[in-house]
Amino acid sequence: MSSDPIRALGLTDDPRFVAPEKLGGKSAGVHDGVAITENPATGEVLGGVRLDGSAALDRAINESIEAFKKWREVPAPARGQVVRAIGEEFRRVKEPLGELVSLEMGKIRAEGLGEVQETIDIADYAVGLSRQLPGQVFPSERAGHRMFEQWLPIGPVGVITAFNFPNAVWGWNAMLAAVCGDTTIWKPSLLTPLVAMATNAAAERVAAKMGHAGVFKLVIGTDDAVGKPMVADRRLPLISATGSCRMGRAVGQAVAARLGRSLLELGGNNAVIVHSDADQELALRSTVFGAVGTAGQRCTTTRRLLLHESIAEKFTERLVAAYKQVATRIGDPLKEGTLIGPLANAAAVEQFLAAVKAAKAQGGEVLFGGERAAPNGLKGHFVQPTIIRAPRSNKLPIAMEETFAPILYVFTYKDLDEAMAMHNGVDQGLSSAIFTESIRASERFLSPTGSGSDCGIANVNAGTSGAEIGGAFGGEKDTGGGRESGSDSWKAYMRRQTTTINFGGKFELAQGIRFE
């Protein structure tokens, strides 16, 4: 670590920050209106953040509405220049902010820096988008009439994010919302409040300096005091929420009850199919990263491995050998050479252990891992990357659930139709992959009739994790159906208006209707 990222980012000067020595020895969690955050690799308390309540939320929404009235009047290309400057600010603070992600969330340093780079990339993408935001032109059946559509700013956007991507998911939403003319009110996870404070401060600092204060608001609070009121507030036409399927159902129902819009990015239970003709080296490397990257705490983590029976035994042996190597590099996420950091907290470790226990009870065989880890005596929330082979029946109910931990369940199949049925046979539908050299197999997986992968992301000879910002990100079924980042995801942050102009001066109705 090059420096103390908390001080380097100026968080100690924020009035909401409470230094560790002033917390009276309290551990991580919410105590007396303060969210105490820790380093999950060591258990060391990093500091506290004074929480906002419902009054602070109400004030933030009112201020965001006033800022929106001014911001929407700024031409979109000019809004893009503000976002360009924000991207440059994130380039400036990339190293300390990326290290803070590692320090507070636990992902390895390369991934922490990569996450900030993702926000930089989406800012660059949004700058280009600011000169487009196109609408279609339609031919009118009435003489002397012109029809077209335009896309207009929707208003203040409520953004709720999870702990595992405490910077980038905000970036996906906030950068696109900004060029679309919207303001943002952000409720981050209470596991990563310091990253949120530093992130929002960087964006708001630039916007305010350029004469646009209030475009980016941050409200840090509990679900009861901030989350639920935010979701229910009619002043926020769009709620973008990332988290569990359970959370998404609650958010979706509450927003729908007030006829608002929700953009939901929820859980995943992603599978990789390795066909009989696959490049096994490529499949192995991709599967290992997909399964153990971020200690299995990505929504795109590879959780199920479907192997053709003709290659299953040999591939599994190679997989176990690879895991043995990776397991020697569990440790401090900020230390060079570390490949796997800790889980988010003690509760995540207990959920990991419970899933392993359930798998054993259901006939699963632990081929590697399955226990806590204590690399170099660190007292953090570490577990071993784990491989569990399903019984011959291929029935393993625990594998139908998403456990946010590095557990990979291994199944076998006889033909591709069986593999597709297994692949699609879960409630979630986020990311998917097949490894094959066969055009027929890959086209079966990507079937244009919809009979292939039922996920929002489908890859051939590339793993489930590591999406680029240019494509729309999101999934189907219990994953929520939302789309963020690239493609036409910007449309979620705007409202569509169909317009007709009568320049001929003659009263004329469509469908040949006469009213005289």
Tens digit of pLDDT for each residue in 86-131? 999 999 999 999 999 999 999 999 999 999 999 999 999 999 999 9
265 catalytic residue (yes or no): yes
CATH of domain 270-468: 3.40.309.10
Which pLDDT score, from 0 to 100, does residue 2 have?
56
Is 348's pLDDT higher than 90? yes
**What number of other Cβ atoms are within 10 A of residue 30's Cβ?**
15
Strand, coil or helix: what is 382?
strand
Catalytic residue, chosen from 180, 245, 299, 455, is 299
This prediction has a pTM of 0.96
Which pLDDT score, from 0 to 100, does residue 1 have?
55
Q: List Cβ neighbours of 243 (8 Å cut-off, separation of 6 or more).
A: 160, 162, 266
Q: Is 262 left (phi over 0), alpha (psi -120 to 50) or beta?
A: beta
In this prediction, residues 448-466 reach a mean pLDDT of 96
N-to-C CA span, the chain:
79
Which pLDDT score, from 0 to 100, does residue 201 have?
98
Closest of 157, 245, 218, 247 to residue 489, by C-alpha: 157
Q: SS3 for 214-253, per residue? A: CCEEECCCCHHHHHHHHHHCCCCCEEEEECCHHHHHHHHH
Which pLDDT score, from 0 to 100, does residue 516 have?
84
Q: Is it true that domain 53-266+480-496 has CATH number 1.10.10.10?
A: no
In this prediction, residues 290-296 reach a mean pLDDT of 98
Closest of 323, 418, 331 to residue 374, by C-alpha: 331
Q: Percent of the chain, pLDDT > 70?
A: 99
Q: List Cβ neighbours of 112 (8 Å cut-off, separation of 6 or more).
A: 98, 99, 100, 101, 102, 105, 333
245 catalytic residue (yes or no): no
In this prediction, residues 403-430 reach a mean pLDDT of 98
Work out the pLDDT band at 461, boundaries 50, 70, 90.
very high
For the chain, residues classed under CATH 3.40.605.10 are: 53-266+480-496
Which pLDDT score, from 0 to 100, does residue 467 have?
83
Catalytic residue, chosen from 204, 265, 402, 484, is 265
Residue pLDDT, tens place only, 32-77:
999 999 999 999 999 999 999 999 999 999 999 999 999 999 999 9
Strand, coil or helix: what is 99?
helix
Name the strand (E) or helix (H) holding 274: strand 270-274
For the chain, residues classed under CATH 3.40.309.10 are: 270-468
Which pLDDT score, from 0 to 100, does residue 480 have?
97
In this prediction, residues 271-295 reach a mean pLDDT of 98
Q: What is the DSSP string of 501-515?
A: EE-S-----GGG---
Strand, coil or helix: what is 158?
strand
Which pLDDT score, from 0 to 100, does residue 305 have?
98
Residue pLDDT, tens place only, 313-340:
999 999 999 999 999 999 999 999 999 9
